[in-house]
Amino acid sequence: MTAVAPTRPKPVGVIGPSKGVSTFFETTSSWWGILALLLIWEIAGQVADLVWLPPVTEVIATLWQLFVDGVIQPHLGASLWSLFVGFSVSLVVGLIVGTLMGLSTTINSALDIFVNAMLFTPALIFAPILFAVFGLSDVTRISVVVLYAMFIIIINTAEGVRNVDDPLLDMAASFGASRWTAVRRIILPSAYPLIIAGLRLGAGRAVKGMINGEMFIALIGLGGLSASYGKSLQFPEVWAMALFIMIVAIIINQGVSIIERKLTAWYD
């Protein structure tokens, strides 16, 4: 089984001290880098005059217009809803299945190969089947999110549970702890850092799943909107959506990292 995160999780995209003063400025690493990139983009767009590379000012204006016209908001709402539901389902199922796999070698050997296969298989492969079963309903998109996010949570949770320090279990047993008490008071707390790392990785994958699922169905959500612009070759809108989705992804990643650091403050 592959342990996908290090025991001591380092937040992705964070440069510098991982604790203490952590601001958006610090974590986006360098405003200068971003500014330079935007400048190059702007000049290239102006000079080259390619239909697929509109200047950044035009892209930003387009994005602004999408908001002003109220085009983007309902899609954003739909996206975040399927992300929220899909991630919650992944969380609950992932923690339960992961804990069981970590505790029982029988369950582990039964599921291990499937879980690992699903981790590396692009879940979009299953989208047509989900579409056939659930049609245009939210369930299709939510399912894609779950298929993206759940397996990394399972794997990290199982690994964390398996890595429990045996002397601690011994100690708990010596004070008369039942199996369930040992799980609750020893195994899960010691698996906690890996579980939290799994949740963070899962959140990133959930965002991917959200957009991919929507692009496949091409009707609803940020991904759906992007796909429909793509089909009609509206490049400024395609760029505007890409930019916006990146911003959403950064905000979600930052949020999850902050929660992660709060939750694992004792662990260092």
Partner 1 sequence: MISIKDVSHRYTAKGREETVALSNVNLEIEDNEFVTIIGPSGCGKTTLMRAVGGLVQPTEGEITIDGQRVTGPHQQAAVVFQNFALLPWASILDNVAFGLELQGMGKADRIAKAEQYIKRVGLSGFERKYPRELSGGMQQRVGLARALAVETPILLMDEPFGALDQQTRRYMQEELIQIWEGDRRTVIFVTHDMEEAVLLGDKVVLMSARPGKIEEVIDVDIARPRDPEAVERSEVFAEKKEYLWRRLREMYQVTA
Query: Rule CB under 8 A: which residues touch partner 1?
Result: 167-168, 170-177, 181, 185-186, 189-190, 192, 266-268
Q: Return the number of the residue (20 or 70) whose C-beta is nearest partner 1.
A: 20
Sign of CA dihedral 225, 227, 232, 238: positive
Handedness of CA 222, 228, 231, 236 (dihedral sign): negative
**Least distance from partner 1 to the Cβ atom of residue 188, Å:** 11
Give the whole-angstrom CA distance, residue 257 versus residue 239: 27
φ/ψ region of 13 (left if φ > 0, alpha if ψ in -120 to 50, else beta) reads left
Distance of CA 54 to the CA centre of its chain: 29
10 dihedral zone (left: phi>0; alpha: psi -120 to 50; beta): beta
Burial class (CB in 10 A: 0-12, 13-18, 19+), 217: buried
Alpha-carbon distance 54 to 16, whole Å?
34
Between CA 239 and CA 55 the distance in angstroms is 10
In three-state secondary structure terms, 78 is helix
Please, what is the minimum distance in Å from the beta carbon of residue 186 to partner 1?
8
The residue among 69 and 268 lying less far from partner 1, judged by its C-beta, is 268
Q: How far is the CB of 183 from partner 1 (least distance, A)?
A: 13
Question: 191 vs 241, which CB is nearer to partner 1?
Answer: 191
CA-based radius of gyration for the chain:
22
CB of 153 to partner 1, least distance (A): 21
Residue whose CB is less far from partner 1, 173 or 259? 173
State the minimum distance, in angstroms, from the CB of residue 157 to partner 1: 17
Q: Which residue number, 147 or 186, has a Cβ lying nearer to partner 1? A: 186
Q: How far is CA 196 from CA 18, 97, 134, 220, 263, in A?
A: 15, 15, 31, 31, 8
Query: 102 or 204: whose CB is closer to partner 1?
Result: 102
What minimum distance in Å lies between the beta carbon of 102 and partner 1? 18
Task: Compute the least distance from the CB of residue 54 to partner 1, in Å.
Answer: 52
CB nearer partner 1, residue 185 or residue 231: 185
